[in-house]
Structure 1
Amino acid sequence: MLHSPPMIVLGFESSCDETGVAVVSTERGLLAHALHSQIDMHQAYGGVVPELASRDHVRRVLPLTRQALASAGLTLDDVDAIAYTAGPGLAGALLVGASVAQAIAWARDLPSIPIHHLEGHLLSPLLADPRPEFPFVALLVSGGHTQLMRVDGVGCYELLGETLDDAAGEAFDKTAKLLGLGYPGGPALSRLAEAGHAERFDLPRPKLHSPDLDFSFSGLKTAVLTRMKTLDPQDAQARADLAAATQDAIVTVLVAKSVKALENTGLKRLVIAGGVGANRLLRERLAVRLGRLGGRAYFPPLELCTDNGAMIAFAAAMRLQAGLADPAERHTAFTVHPRWAL
Structure 2
Amino acid sequence: MLQPGEYIPLERAIVSLKRDHPEVLKAIAKAINSVDPHAEFNRETITGSKYGDSIPGFAITYGQLGSYLNTAVTRLVSVLIETEVGVIESSHVAVNREWLLKQREHAARQPEVVREIELRSYASHGATVTPIIQPLVDQDPKAARAELRKLNIRIERSLVIRPDDERDAEIERLRIQLEASTAREKSIAATVDASEKAIKMLTRENDQLRKERSSTQLPPASIATRKPDTKPRKLSNVEMRNEKARACQAQVKERATSLWRHADYAKHRTTDMVNVIRRLADSEPDWNLPKNDAALARWISSSAPEFAKRPGRPRKEK
Is the strand fraction higher in 1 or 2? 1
Is the helix fraction higher in 1 or 2? 2
Based on CA coordinates, which of the two structures has the bigger radius of gyration? 2
